[in-house]
Amino acid sequence: MAGQETTGTESRQAREPSAARVAEVLEAIGAGAYVVNERGEITAVNTAAERLLDRTAAELLGRDAHDLLHRGPQGQPLPATRCGMRQAFHARRTAQAAEDHFARGDGSVLEVSWLVTPYIPADGHGEWTLVVFHVPHREAGGVLPAERARAAMSEHERLALLAETTTRLTSTLDVEATLRRLVDLVLPRLADWVVIDLITDRDEVWRTAVVEADGDRLVHHEDLEGPMPPVPEESPMPLSRALRGVTSAIAGPQTYERAPDSGIAVEQHRLFEVTGMHSAAIVPIRSTRAVLGALTLGRAGKSGDFTATDLPLFEDIARRAALALDNARLYQRQRKVAETMQNHLLPQMPQVPGLRMAVRYLPAPDASQVGGDWYDAFTLPEGTTALAVGDVVGHDLEAAAGMAQLRNMLRAYAWSRGTPCSRVVERLDEAIMPITDVTMATLVFAKVTAAEGGWELSWTNAGHPPPLLITREGLARYLTDGHGLLLGTGVRTSRPDATAVLPLASTLLLYTDGLVEAPGSTLDEGMNRLRQHAAALAHRPLESFTDELLRRVRPSGHDDVALLALRTPDR
């Protein structure tokens, strides 16, 4: 069975009836819990589930819970036909299982016990289902009780922790995910508190995380986070030395009771005062290239202070965190450069009297923020409006460069007066191999012409998903004519043309396959989903239609999405 990230209860609320009240109720449950709607999509989730699943609410809400979470013992996808939870969900009955498996955000498999039961919202709308789960073997899962965490770790446990740290922190290229996993690794097994101070690209210090382990809950103290004063160059205070990469140290409230030598010392005095920490270990987060920040582990309510013998383990953890953070930051810089390049490559839409157009480009989050999906629209000499959406094989800068070559060549060939769409694409296909770096590509190339009493569309399709036409009455159909081979096969063949009338106030949708393809579902299912939602949104203004359609339909983000929507006038 079965986001935009915010904080607190609001981040776990889906935009459905009673979601706000449901989210508040789930927080009172002492185990992981989420609610799904009649489609099996997660509509509300509590913080315990977020922590156990290593996924934020934004990564859970709106997703099909079975496809996203349910797995076999070895992590293999579990067919819906073999899923007892799914069967109980469809039968609207209560069921439970003592041993099952969920997929965590870091790729590991979590052994769980669950209970599923029908849930009727307070306002009576919809048929929802409540899922409550917990981890029966917490120690086997690597989350140690606080009492045992205080005991000295054996060499085997130390090595196991370091191996887990390396695996979990290096399996993501997202800075926030890295920090979240680091907090989960050290709390509560090593400390009551964790504080992470990071040095930004502008050499400013930002207190990024202040988190407390309160039993099984992790409490984020955002009031203690934020910008920090500059790092003094000569200060002997522990945090200042760690942020300069000098050394690790053990500190306590008495360390910062003397007259402060800097603004950072003032903030540290406040930190000890507010948190009640009686002992803290402060170590640099240092990569091979630079000092990235400092990691502070603190003890408050329990007896026993940190000693110098604890520092080597904490330093090892911080070094692994530094490697992961350094890689994540480099990756994000690359994404920013690539995104800037993509924005310059994608064109501005022309102003065509009577026609409205909206375009969107969404990169795959796990790619380099740029790829081979593209759209284009331009006016031809005879007054016709040309439209194109295509997909060059690849999800990297090379694919983006090939996309730019293909788009520019298409524009040049399309400029020939009176040339039908099929002949333009035939010439483009002939030129791909000898002139460009593109191996293969798909494309829909179309022309929109003002006709007596309306508008006419002519097009040819080179192996691309078919355009979707939606009338203002909500009738939606795919334009499957004019279909031919994709580009770059080396096969020389004539390509078909097709024509269709565009009714008044109708919407034409050209898109790439990232909008309709998703792991675990068929292409037919994706296209049916797109047609259903497009028809339901036909009455929306074009910009709203486009944004809401992407929000509802876009799959899990494994592929780029380029979309071009055109609407004809209503009279």
Helix (H) / strand (E) containing 149: helix 146-150
Q: d(Cα 131, Cα 100) in Å, to the nearest integer?
A: 13
Is the pTM here over 0.85, yes or no? no
Task: Please give the full DSSP string across 444-498, using - where no structure is assigned.
Answer: EEEEEEEETTEEEEEEEEES-PPPEEE-TTS-EEE---SEEPPBTS--------E
pLDDT at position 438 is 74
Lowest mean pLDDT among 70-84, 128-142, 297-311, 516-530: 128-142
User: Given the structure tokens 């965190």, which residue do they identify?
Assistant: 321
Neighbours of 519 (CB within 10 A): 9
pLDDT at position 397 is 60
* Banded model confidence at residue 327, pLDDT cuts 50, 70, 90: confident
Q: How far apart are the first and last CA of the chain?
A: 46
518's tokens? 């998703």
Chain mean position to CA 111: 24
Kindly tell me if the per-residue pLDDT of 451 is higher than 50.
Answer: yes
* Banded model confidence at residue 12, pLDDT cuts 50, 70, 90: very low
- With beta carbons less than 8 A apart as the criterion, state whether 86 and 73 touch: no
Kindly tell me if the per-residue pLDDT of 191 is higher than 60.
Answer: yes
pLDDT at position 83 is 83
pLDDT at position 470 is 97
C-alpha dist (Å) from residue 24 to 21, 27, 47: 5, 5, 11
Where does residue 39 rank: exposed (0-12), middle (13-18), buried (19+ CB within 10 A)? exposed
pLDDT single digits (tens) 433-446: 877 777 788 999 99
Domains and CATH numbers, the chain: 9-134 (3.30.450.20), 146-333 (3.30.450.40), 346-567 (3.60.40.10)
pLDDT at position 439 is 79
pLDDT at position 151 is 45
* Banded model confidence at residue 512, pLDDT cuts 50, 70, 90: very high
